[in-house]
Chain A
Amino acid sequence: MSLATTPLILSLSKDRTDEHRLRAFGLLPAEYEHIVRRLGREPNDVELGMLGAMWSEHCSYKHSRRLLRTLPTNGPRVLQGPGENAGAVDIGDGLAVVLKMESHNHPSAVEPFQGAATGVGGILRDVFTMGARPVAMVDSLRFGDPTDPRTMHLLHGVIGGIGHYGNCIGVPTVAGEISFDPGYAGNPIVNAMCVGIAPIERLITARASGPGNPLLLVGADTGRDGLQGAAFASNDDPEASHRGVVQVGNPFLEKLLLEACLAVLETGDVIAMQDLGAAGLTSSSVEMAARGGLGVEIDVSRVPQRETGLSPFEMMLSESQERMLLLVRSGSEATVKRHFARWDLHAEVIGRVTDDGLVRVLDDCETVAELPIALLTDDVPEYELQPGPPAVVLPHRDSPTDLRALLASPNLCSRRFAYRQYDSTVQANTVFGPGQAAAAVLRIDGTRKGLAVTTDCNPHYMLRDPRRGAQQAVAEAVRNLACVGATPVAVTDCLNFGNPEKPLVAWQLSEAVAGLAEACRLFDVPIVSGNVSLYNETAGRPIPPTPTIGMVGVIDDVSLAAPIGFRDKAVIVLLGLPAEGRPGFPRLDLQEERRLANLLRTLVSRRLLLSAQDVSDGGLAIALAECCFATGVGATISVETNLFSEDQGRAIVTCRPEDVDSVARLGNQEDVPVMTIGYAGGTRLEIGTAIDESVAGLEAIWAAGLA
């Protein structure tokens, strides 16, 4: 990839209030005037670049902050909510689970392989920056029309990039989603989630303390890659002249950084750690100082550089990957440097924490920028959304009737072509990887416990009703976790939407956040981290609203977790109300969902289930087919109607014949309808009088869908 050699913005007009010039910095004229008023002078170019990056939607959440405050973020388990690099919850045994999901949509639209790879790299850094060892990766991907060759170029590039980074660094990719909708043409969604585990006492934050303490920059040398990525991600035109803004990932270097950072934390000399992501050195140093209510001084002449002639502007805004900023105790510099040297990494002192509340950038002896931290972080204008509901209601989609066609369809066919390119078993803790259970399950080393992980969001529901669509995503995640016996402990989310200045998008965003908040409150699961990605548009058309939910649950005894695969002679039981098959948004009742989840967890914990699978996209018939494919065992089912209805609140479980009564009794106690619908066995899938197919034949069709 060729990298831009000069920042395009500096060659533009010298008129400081020139609107085009300001736009290149991502600022509006009114915002610029606010800056001048607060500073009492005109900012110079370095300062303007730093302000533009910090005031971008990506860093400041200026359109979404008010909404985000309505989300439930607290709970008895929460150790760290939003505001740090990642969220953390207490899961007992002295351990914390650390989780975060982030988007890399705009870079992936331009360069899918590196865009996705650096997305994985960034989210991994967010987790080990907290002092946690990453134990699982999950990816949620959305693309346009699969018959468009450009879509397939993006799809294969993104899959390749995810595998390239995750496989090399040795973190298993254990679950994920891929779906297609023409609304994502030209603007794919690449959301990567990372889960880590740390002893609670080893967690570290990125909060500066102790004026005078030195700041060390560790890892990769700084180059011109990714200049102004934060502003780029907050612009609705990903196709326009952004060569050079996409970074190139080096997973090997990140692996060294990961091991070295976790090792150096054991010295006790590290006060705070912050990775360099969007807006590079600017955001990492400013946010670290802001969290501690302090100031910071950076000397860019001490930043190790990959290429010659980097300007202070470029060094403060470069998004070169695999870099980390460490605040260490004064006097420990040599020890810390030695730790990194063992991993062939150099750590250079590039600045120090101050107590004046300013960020001061020096180029050797010359001050090249000096701004109040508060101006960069707290004084960011907040914009009130102007929501406007859509004028037209989506037409009703005909219910499908053909199992074979549905199994071969891009949104329901096998994802093996993708996940077999991801190492899902490294670290040797994967109990259920891709396709084996309703949620991925990992054992937690040194305990009997397990972690369950899932991501959910259905853009087709979101387009119909963003509020209920967001509730559905949370409900499905809870259901997925309950199928393996896990209690949800935390959510991380990635809110992918179009341009929020448009009334329709503002409405979608407001409704989705409201739905998300309602559902998370009802299921009593806090949102501890997340990311907002706005301006996802192509040629003026916003993507379908896509609030991706990443949820983590805990299983007390991981050996009890249920897979989806049928076993011979098992009795097949449907939990939940039978489908009604009414047109429009599928039936969704959060109270029903809560009772169903309670029942599933009880059944798993009492060892009553041989398998459990939730009923979701494609309805009962698709869920049954997936259970057959997992083990190659067939089923005979007595249900005749609404086989493809996506009515929510249902799960297919199997048990031994002698346990059917116990399952029914517990269902009755929990007020969940329980209906025996058939039994597993043989090599055919027979559903009522309508369907009678060989499992192997159906599986071949399903496997070939996108392979």
Chain B
Amino acid sequence: MEPTAARAAVVQFPGTNCERETVRALRAVECPVDLIWHADPFPPDAYSAVVLPGGFAHGDHLRAGAIARFAPVMAGIERFAQRGGLVLGICNGFQMLLEAGLLPGAMLRNASLEFRSEWVYCRVESTDSPFLRAASKGLVLKMPIAHGEGNYVAVDDEARVAMRYCDAEGNVSPGANPNGAQANIAAIQNEPGNNILGLMPHPERANDCLLGSEDGRLIFEALAAAVRQPAAV
């Protein structure tokens, strides 16, 4: 892709509620970042990475992410992603990526039919995306989840699994699955581009030992490194 500005953008939709801590997590790894507004067109050359943060965009009305995908900013982000730009979707942002067709599959309500807020462990399954390049395959990350619709259903096998829910030792088992997701899938990336990652856990809430874990920092550090060297993408 064409060289772009060494900055990341975090998109705020009406009802997004994780944008502040996501911006903070990026600043903590010295990544230049702007908060941008859903109703503005996406400036194609201003950024080398985009984060769609968690929350309840448009109140999750209709379906999680179903309305947000039609926001004016999204058309530009879709083109940006198709050109190889880095896109990270966290929780509600992941749901938007599915609704926008940038990642395959869909979310059902959690198998418990209840919202789930708890700390989970995730095993890294692929290090091919720039977001997980710093990790090693099999690495176990501790991060919180907080969602009502995280029960991921894959379409065929076209998605590359990036992370699966596991126990503290890295064993992927039904007992370690908090939402009923198919094959314990917690995160996926696009194939073959590897430039789009969607994950249900919240790495921005796990970027400081004080909060119980700093495992999520690895994703932001990798993103920051990629932003600083857009040519390497």
Contacts and interface: CB of A to CB of B under 8 A. Distances in A.
Interface of A: 163, 167-170, 250-253, 255-256, 343-344, 419-431, 443, 445, 558-559
A255 B146 contact: no
A425 B205 contact: yes
B232 interface: no
8 contacts: A170-B56, A251-B59, A255-B15, A255-B17, A255-B59, A344-B14, A429-B21, A431-B210
B24 A170 contact: no
Given A421-B115, A421-B116, A559-B210, A252 B144 contact: no
Nearest to A428: B21
B58 interface: yes
Contacts of B125: none
Interface string B18-38: 101100110000000000000
A420 B18 CA distance: 19
B146 A167 contact: yes
Contact of A421 (B114, B202, B212): B114
A558 B61 contact: no
A372 B115 CA distance: 49
5 A-B pairs closest in CB distance: A170-B17, A252-B59, A428-B21, A423-B146, A425-B144
Contacts of B24: 428, 445
Chain B contact residues: over half helix, strand or loop, or mixed? mixed
B182 interface: no
Contacts of B54: 426
Interface residues on B, range: 20 to 34
Contacts of A253: 59
Contact of B205 (A251, A256, A419, A426): A426
Interface string B198-211: 00001011010011
A670 B201 CA distance: 46
Contacts of A250: 59
Nearest to B58: A252
A252 B117 CA distance: 19
B55 A558 contact: no
Contact of A420 (B15, B55, B118, B212): B118
B116 A420 contact: yes
Given A421-B115, A559-B210, A168 B59 contact: yes
Contact of B204 (A251, A344, A419, A428): A428
A167 B21 CA distance: 16
A168 B21 contact: no
Contacts of B20: 427
B60 interface: yes
Given A421-B115, A423-B146, A428 B211 contact: yes
A169 B18 CA distance: 10
Interface string B210-226: 11100000000000000
A422 B55 contact: no
Nearest to A156: B114
Nearest to B39: A342
B92 to A, nearest CB: 10
Interface in B26-80: 54-56, 58-61
A348 B13 CA distance: 24
A170 B55 contact: yes
B61 A426 contact: no
A426 B56 contact: no
Contact of B117 (A344, A421, A431, A558): A421
A425 B211 contact: yes
A423 B117 contact: yes
Given A420-B114, A426-B54, 12 more contacts: A163-B115, A167-B56, A251-B56, A251-B59, A252-B56, A255-B15, A255-B56, A424-B117, A427-B20, A428-B21, A430-B205, A445-B24
Contacts of A170: 17-18, 55-56
A557 to B, nearest CB: 11
